[in-house]
């Protein structure tokens, strides 16, 4: 398997964004989680390569303010729903008509917004998220805004400590990240009823960061739940995570 290629394109507000691509075949667009990037969530632990072996062209954007994508510091670059807008524009830029779509954590939330606002993937994947996490993103948003504010002032044992350590390891731009967080709002629950396509809800056995993934699968029209090992932070590093997605996409 060849290495993933990096491509750049400009969104409608002229911010340069990056996406990584691996494999050939039916397109599947995979979105990473908050403070992470495509390499960390999809490439480093082999998930993209595993999915590509099944005959897929795996397209993995670095979301705005993450990874190799632009990290502007102007508030006007972060209107509400900007990540879903970037997603729609990328799909248009690549002229994708038939594709699958999914994400992990924030990537799942962005997938829900994208489908709720009209995207029609053939299959969908929601990883590392549950019903309460989607319903109460405002609460999660303020937790992470507090983490950014407390960045250099907390000790091990503080509820924000692990998130801050991850931000430090990813060398996040705190200004851009805070502006992006301000663009998030709670999910409209009616968006979930737009998931009439086969949908995989996949979550770690010890991942309760975003509420019950099983409950999320039950309220969606055409979803199945798969449990994989790990917490919110570790489940996406396990081979079972990519294996579950690969098997779902070819089932």
CATH code for the domain in which residue 221 is found: 3.40.50.1820
CB 164 within 8 A of CB 207: no
Choose the weakest-confidence range: 2-11, 166-175, 184-193: 184-193
**What is the C-alpha R_g of the chain?**
17
* pLDDT of 246 strictly over 60: yes
C-alpha distance from residue 190 to each of 101, 103, 115, 177 (Å): 19, 19, 11, 28
Q: Residue 128: which of 47, 201, 66, 200 has the closest Cα?
A: 201
State the average pLDDT over residues 19-43. 98
* pLDDT of 137 strictly over 80: no
* Structure tokens belonging to residue 91: 């799909």
Across the chain, what does the average pLDDT equal?
Answer: 95
The number of residues making up the chain comes to 251
pLDDT value of position 22: 98
- State the Cα–Cα distance between residues 29 and 61, nearest whole angstrom: 8
- State the Cα–Cα distance between residues 1 and 16, nearest whole angstrom: 28
Count Cα neighbours of 33 within 13 Å in the Cβ-side half-sphere. Answer: 23
Domain count, the chain: 1
pLDDT value of position 135: 85
Range of the domain at 160: 5-250
State the average pLDDT over residues 13-28. 98
* Structure tokens belonging to residue 232: 């919110």
State the average pLDDT over residues 209-215. 92
State the average pLDDT over residues 234-251. 97
CB 218 within 8 A of CB 126: no
Q: 146 φ, ψ to 5°? A: -65, -40
Q: Residue 51: which of 38, 67, 36 has the closest Cα?
A: 38
State the average pLDDT over residues 207-235. 95
Higher-pLDDT residue of 185 and 147 is 147
- State the Cα–Cα distance between residues 58 and 101, nearest whole angstrom: 10
Above pLDDT 70, what percent of the chain?
A: 100
Q: Residue 203: which of 85, 102, 68 has the closest Cα?
A: 102
146 by DSSP, 3-state: which? helix
For residue 53, give the DSSP letter.
Answer: T
Choose the weakest-confidence range: 30-34, 37-41, 62-66, 155-159: 155-159
Choose the weakest-confidence range: 13-17, 21-25, 49-53, 156-160: 156-160
- Give the global pTM: 0.95
pLDDT band, very low/low/confident/very high, at 1 (cuts 50, 70, 90): low
State the average pLDDT over residues 55-84. 97
pLDDT band, very low/low/confident/very high, at 8 (cuts 50, 70, 90): very high
CB 31 within 8 A of CB 110: yes
pLDDT value of position 237: 97
């Amino acid at each position: 398997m060849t290495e993933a290629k990096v491509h750049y394109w400009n969104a409608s507000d002229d911010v340069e964004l990056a996406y990584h691509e691996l494999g050939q075949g039916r397109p599947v667009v995979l979105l990473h989680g908050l403070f992470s990037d495509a390499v960390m969530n999809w490439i480093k632990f082999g998930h993209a390569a595993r999915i590509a072996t099944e005959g897929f062209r795996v397209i993995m954007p670095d979301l705005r303010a993450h990874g190799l994508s632009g990290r502007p510091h102007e508030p006007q670059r972060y209107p509400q729903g900007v990540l879903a807008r970037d997603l729609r524009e990328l799909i248009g830029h690549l002229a994708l008509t038939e594709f699958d779509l999914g994400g992990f954590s924030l990537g799942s939330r962005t997938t829900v917004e994208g489908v709720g606002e009209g995207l029609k993937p053939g299959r969908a994947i929601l990883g590392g998220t549950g019903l309460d996490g989607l319903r109460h993103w405002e609460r999660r948003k303020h937790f992470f805004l507090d983490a950014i504010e407390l960045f250099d002032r907390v000790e091990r044992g503080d509820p924000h400590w692990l998130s801050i350590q991850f931000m430090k390891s990813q060398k996040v731009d705190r200004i851009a990240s805070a502006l992006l967080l301000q663009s998030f709002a709670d999910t409209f629950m009616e968006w979930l009823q737009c998931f009439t396509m086969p949908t995989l809800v996949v979550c770690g056995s010890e991942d309760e960061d975003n509420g019950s993934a099983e409950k999320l699968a039950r309220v969606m029209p055409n979803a199945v739940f798969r449990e994989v090992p790990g917490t919110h932070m570790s489940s996406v590093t396990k081979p079972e995570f990519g294996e579950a997605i690969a098997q779902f996409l070819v089932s």
